[in-house]
């Protein structure tokens, strides 16, 4: 117990980037050391998200996000979930584009587009976010929201065609868009996302997925609103330990 407390205290005193370097030099994370992935406390290392190509790409782009204080573990598990479902969606479907609503620093779409660039051709990726400083998060006093459009566009992988939509998410914006194989909702604006949910489900091709980031942070009555809509729309869904809700449209219609 004394050793665990000592390690925790030392970690709190050392900058996150230096701490990760020290951990690698001494042979990685020990079983007794808990890792906090934005509220998900894990007592062991999830190897796939700390080692290999995903870890390298994620750490490269997550470093841009000042909202997480340079602690890339905050977004690590959530972005890995997005990548995993995106990969399943592209392999489950023969058509349908990708869409992210709520881009900010762009960690998730940057990581997924780079990791899946070969598989995503010739699909397009629609990125919806005004990125103009008037976002809901700024209105709530969250000044760490990214308003620099070029920060994300300038780093976008050239192998994946991006369609930038500098507007707030709305049914009007979606009406002119094609079908989707994968949708990531990350605006933090419940009213906008809820009002668009039925349209998004209609545009989702069989075998595709919608990831609804906000679900686990909603009040019970708002979760019930989402649940009732999903039952009425004949979808499948499950909540991840990351609090993300995964919504799927079955690839096959059973008799």
Q: What is the pTM of this model?
A: 0.82
> CA nearest 30: which of 10, 44, 51?
44
Instruction: List, for residues 12-59, the tens digit of each pLDDT value.
Output: 666 666 656 555 554 444 444 566 676 677 777 788 888 899 999 999
Each residue's pLDDT tens digit, 143-193 = 578 888 998 999 999 999 999 999 999 999 999 999 999 999 999 999 999
Residue 209 has pLDDT above 90, yes or no: yes
Beta-strand relationship, 124-128 and 161-165: parallel
The per-residue pLDDT of the chain, averaged, comes to 85
Q: Which CATH number fits domain 75-248: 3.40.50.620, 3.30.230.10, 3.40.50.150, 3.30.2010.10?
A: 3.40.50.150
CA distance 215 to 223: 7
Residues 224-252 have pLDDT tens digits of 999 999 999 989 999 999 999 999 998 76
Cβ distance 207 to 238 under 8 Å?
no
Give the strand pairing for 204-212 and 245-248.
antiparallel
Lowest mean pLDDT among 6-10, 132-136, 165-169, 236-240: 6-10
């Amino acid at each position: 117990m004394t050793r665990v407390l000592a390690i925790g205290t030392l970690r709190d005193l050392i900058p996150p980037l230096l701490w990760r370097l020290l951990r690698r030099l001494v042979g990685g994370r020990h079983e007794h050391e808990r890792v906090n992935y934005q509220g998900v406390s894990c007592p062991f290392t999830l190897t796939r998200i700390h080692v290999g190509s995903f870890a390298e790409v994620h750490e490269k782009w997550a470093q841009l996000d000042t909202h997480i204080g340079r602690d890339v573990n905050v977004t690590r598990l959530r972005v890995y979930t997005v990548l995993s479902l995106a990969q399943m969606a592209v392999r489950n479907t023969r058509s349908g584009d990708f869409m992210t609503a709520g881009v900010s620093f762009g960690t998730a779409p940057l990581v997924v587009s780079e990791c899946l660039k070969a598989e995503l051709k010739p699909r397009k990726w629609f990125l919806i976010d005004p990125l103009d400083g008037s976002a809901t998060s700024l209105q709530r006093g969250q000044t760490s929201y990214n308003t620099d459009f070029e920060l994300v566009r300038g780093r976008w992988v050239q192998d994946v065609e991006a369609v930038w939509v500098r507007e707030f998410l709305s049914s009007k914006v979606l009406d002119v868009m094609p079908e989707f194989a994968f949708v990531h909702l990350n605006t933090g604006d419940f009213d906008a996302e809820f009002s668009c949910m039925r349209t998004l489900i209609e545009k989702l091709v069989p075998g595709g997925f919608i990831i609804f980031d906000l679900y686990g942070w909603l009040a019970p009555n708002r979760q019930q609103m989402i649940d009732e809509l999903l039952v009425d729309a004949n979808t499948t869904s499950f909540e991840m330990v990351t609090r993300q809700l995964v919504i799927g449209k079955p690839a096959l219609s059973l008799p």
